[in-house]
Amino acid sequence: MYKKIYCFLLCSVVFLNCSKPCIAQSSSTNVTSFKVLEDSLMLFDKNRDRQIPVALYFPQTTKKLKNQPLVIVSHGYWQNKGGSNKAYTSIAKKLATHGYFVASIQHELPNDDLIPTTGIPQIVRRPFWERGSDNILFVLNELKKTQSYLDFKHVVLIGHSNGGDMSILFAHKHPDLVDKVISLDSRRMPFPRTAQPKLYSLRSSDQVADEGVLPSIEEQKKYGITIIKLNNTIHNDMDDNANEAQRKEINDYIMRFLK
């Protein structure tokens, strides 16, 4: 099975590099916009005996984009329902139109245990964040084998809610492997108090992070961490549930963070 997956990845590389171009030019911004292609992978981590579904979004080009930027997206908690890695298409497609290669991971499988609803979140949810961090690392290493043209020196993680906690944990464990982390209202895992990787967070209007999770104003200034509250967006509307105005605001901030 692993060989089949590896062959599929290789085919994806050929497909990505041999597609016909379709580039639109915006008259208002004069910015080149790529047509977006979508694909999917079913990876398998034999060391953990675990499948990892991945949705891919990337620009349609005639040749490799040298050092093409890579973004890995991690979804919020979906109670093990399928399709969670395709719940952030607004963000993924926006990134792909600007030349980014986006890998969106499904962290939950139907037979996984549900996250406990009682107990101290930082304790009872930690195994789920650890699993998510391991998933991110595995996907990153697999992409290095097959999409070697990507820019692995400046990897970006974007995570919503529980997926944001996973991404923040990854920054703690592997600070040398990620350049930027964008948290969409993660509430439990404390942010690293460090200048590297660069940390950004969009906060909802209706939910508050646990004490000690977000850096203080002084720490934000010291380490260059950016925290922005979205006054018109609730926690559950930071994925594809967002309306047009909310999507634009979220995507505009993300693109600003990535510059």
Q: Is the pLDDT of residue 235 over 70?
A: yes
- 96 CB neighbour count, 10 Å cutoff: 24
How confident is residue 10, by pLDDT bands cut at 50, 70 and 90?
A: very low
pLDDT at residue 84, as a whole number = 96
Whether 42 has a pLDDT exceeding 70, the answer reads yes
Q: What pLDDT is attached to residue 65?
A: 75
Mean local confidence (pLDDT), 64-77 = 92
The residue ranking higher by pLDDT, 25 or 130, is 130
The domains located in the chain, with CATH, are: 2-112+119-258 (3.40.50.1820)
Q: Does the pLDDT at position 64 exceed 90?
A: no
Question: For the residues 67-76, what does the mean pLDDT come to?
Answer: 97
The order of strands in the sheet holding 198-203 is 36-45, 50-59, 101-105, 68-74, 150-160, 180-184, 198-203, 226-229
Instruction: Answer whether residue 234 shows pLDDT above 60.
Output: yes
